[in-house]
């Protein structure tokens, strides 16, 4: 808090102090007149009792004197009643004024804040932002649709496959027809095959080997 604020107080503090002083003045005035009102009511009641007493005693002069004082106090009481009514009305008006001030102060602060916020944007900026948002949303939707579409890498043309299968089947049938049935194939011979003379050749070779071995022994 600055020196000036410490010495003189802020503007809001002055307003609050003035309101408190006004409320206290109204309350003090109402208290004083209320006490005076109660005092006069007792005085009036006392004068009436005294006038009745003097009337029973046939003391007309004293009774009239009491009634004159009673009339004087009554006029003062009526004035005080009017003053208290005015104080109540003024107090209500003051409270209404305070409420209006609170409302206006809050409205002013809100309006000033809105003005500051609105200075940072205008209707063209809002429209531009809305258009950009819609554009980006469209782009996002297109990207989502693109990446969620199934790929055709594993898809085949079934009609093409059926056609190729039929061609293969026809080709196999034609080859079987050209080769003929199983009955046309030559028969396989049954029984052991008759060996030719390789056994004789084997015996002769063994004899030659034996003779060669004997010669090697004698020459050793």
Average pLDDT over residues 11-24: 81
**Per-residue pLDDT tens for 18-44?**
888 888 999 999 999 999 999 999 999
pLDDT at 193: 47
Structure tokens at 164: 């190729």
Most confident among 86-90, 113-117, 196-200, 205-209 (mean pLDDT): 86-90
What confidence tier does 1 reach under pLDDT thresholds 50, 70, 90? very low
pLDDT at 7: 43
**Per-residue pLDDT tens for 75-85?**
999 999 999 99
Q: What is the CATH number of domain 10-99?
A: 1.10.287.1060
**Per-residue pLDDT tens for 140-197?**
988 988 887 766 655 667 787 778 778 787 777 777 776 555 455 555 554 544 444 5
pLDDT at 3: 44
> What sign does the CA torsion over 34, 35, 39, 40 have?
negative
To the nearest whole number, what is the mean pLDDT of the chain?
79
Q: Does 89 score more than 90 pLDDT? A: yes
pLDDT at 195: 47
pLDDT at 204: 67
Structure tokens at 62: 């004293």
Q: Give every CB contact of residue 52 below 8 A, 6+ residues apart in sequence.
A: 63
3-state helix, strand, coil in the chain (%, to 5): 85, 0, 15
Distance CA 161, CA 147 (A): 29
Q: Where are the domains of the chain?
A: 10-99
**Per-residue pLDDT tens for 48-62?**
999 999 999 999 999
Distance CA 64, CA 71 (A): 10
Q: Which residue has the tokens 């531009």?
A: 128
Structure tokens at 27: 């309350």
Distance CA 48, CA 64 (A): 10
């Amino acid at each position: 808090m600055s020196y000036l604020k410490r010495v003189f107080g802020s503007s809001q503090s002055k307003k609050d102090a003035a309101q408190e002083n006004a409320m206290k003045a109204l309350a003090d005035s109402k208290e004083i007149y209320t006490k005076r009102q109660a005092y006069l009511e007792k005085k009036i009641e006392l004068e009436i009792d005294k006038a009745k007493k003097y009337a029973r005693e046939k003391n007309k002069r004293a009774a009239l004197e009491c009634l004159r004082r009673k009339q004087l106090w009554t006029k003062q009481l009526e004035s005080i009643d009017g003053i208290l009514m005015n104080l109540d009305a003024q107090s209500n008006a003051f409270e209404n004024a305070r409420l209006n001030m609170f409302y206006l102060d809050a409205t002013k602060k809100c309006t000033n804040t809105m003005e500051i916020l609105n200075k940072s944007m205008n209707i063209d900026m809002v429209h531009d932002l809305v258009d950009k948002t819609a554009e980006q949303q469209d782009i996002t939707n297109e990207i989502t649709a693109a990446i969620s579409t199934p790929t055709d890498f594993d898809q085949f043309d079934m009609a093409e496959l059926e056609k190729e299968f039929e061609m293969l089947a026809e080709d196999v049938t034609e080859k079987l027809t050209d080769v003929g049935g199983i009955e046309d194939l030559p028969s396989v011979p049954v029984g052991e095959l008759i060996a030719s003379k390789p056994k004789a050749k084997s015996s002769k070779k063994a004899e030659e080997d034996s003779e060669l071995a004997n010669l090697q022994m004698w020459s050793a």
